[in-house]
Amino acid sequence: MSSTQTPASTAPITVPAVASRKVRDGSDPLVMVTAYDAPGARMASEAGVDLILVGDSLAMVVLGYRDTLQVTVDDMAHHTAAVARAEPASLIVADLPWMSYHLSTEDTVRNAAKLIRAGAEAVKLEGGRKRLPMTESLIDAEIPVMGHIGLTPQSVHAMGGFRVQAKTSDAARALVDDAKALAHAGCFSIVLEGVPTEVAAMVTDAVQVPTIGIGAGPDVDGQVLVYHDVLGIEDRMAPKFVRRYADVKARSVEALAAYAADVRSKAFPGPAESYHLAADVVETLGLYGSDT
């Protein structure tokens, strides 16, 4: 199969199937991409992507905020429902937004349940050992949890910006301990964001569940990128870890400019793009001279 062909199978991907995908055991790397609406989900599914993340990056790439802290559970549920309506074969994971899992375990389960009822099959939350009570209560409520450690965008102010994490030996060991604790608590996979390749490899070696990297190098069990970055819809920022596979923003601007020019020159719409009366009605109305 060439790299541009899509896999033939459309069997839905499940949480246990994802949990067993370790590259060291011979599995192919997992592929995850974000999506926030039905067309995006349909494209990801048709491309054979394993997991769709309804990420809280929604705040930045769709809703125009400066960081991810602005989205609410209701925003996330609204977009999760749109993704779910596309019925993708990919597993749908929805981000628990900031402040939806920080106050109490009860609040956490209630908020996660809203995302599950909207169509998510699992939720993702940021943080390591300090999130164990919330993680355990979700798993206790039969809600599968994906962990997210390293550069955790909801901690942007605490981190002093979007900075690569775990650059010292102590921080690297602490990250490994966080991953082990999350895996032990029952997380079915762990996102590793913005960490050195060597540290991502240490974490990946240390846990039996798959790690999914973003800005974490190749030695992980899968990769995730933001939809708007992969397709070149977002062209204002180019983080080092992004590879663009299309130039959709530039092509879209060109297409819209061509449409605008055709409207202004009256080249659009043409006869084939217009509705017409039947000939007898035209005759009855005495419209012989019209361009029908």
| Among positions 40, 55, 119, 213, the unique one binding ligand KIV when judged by CB under 6 A | 55
For the segment 204-263, give every residue that binds ligand KIV (CB under 6 A): 214, 224, 226
Contacts of 94 (CB under 8 A, 6+ apart): 53, 54, 76, 77, 80, 115, 118, 120, 122, 123, 124
Amino acid identity of 32? Answer: M
| 149 binds ligand KIV, rule: CB under 6 A | no
Residue nearest to ligand KIV (CB): 55
Q: Which stretch binds ligand KIV (CB under 6 A): 6-14, 49-57, 250-258, 278-286?
A: 49-57
Burial class of residue 235 (count of CB atoms within 10 Å of its CB; 0-12, 13-18, 19+): middle
**DSSP state, 288?**
T
In this complex, which beta carbon is closest to ligand KIV, that of residue 39 or of residue 269?
A: 39
Residue in 121, 193, 198, 234 annotated catalytic:
193
Closer CB to ligand KIV, residue 179 or residue 226?
A: 226
Q: Exposed, middle or buried: residue 155 (CB in 10 Å: 0-12, 13-18, 19+)? A: middle
The reply on whether position 191 binds ligand KIV by CB under 6 A is yes
Phi, psi of 162 (to 5 degrees): -85, 90
Is 87 among the residues known to form the active site?
Answer: no
Pairing of strands 145-150, 189-193: parallel
Taking the least distance from each CB to ligand KIV, the nearer of 65 and 282 is 65
As a whole number of angstroms, the longest Cα–Cα distance in the chain is 88
**Interactions with ligand KIV, residue window 80-109 (CB under 6 A):** 95
Which CB sits closer to ligand KIV, 34 or 108? 34
Footprint of ligand KIV (CB under 6 A): 34, 53, 55-57, 95, 191, 193, 214, 224, 226
The catalytic residue positions are: 193
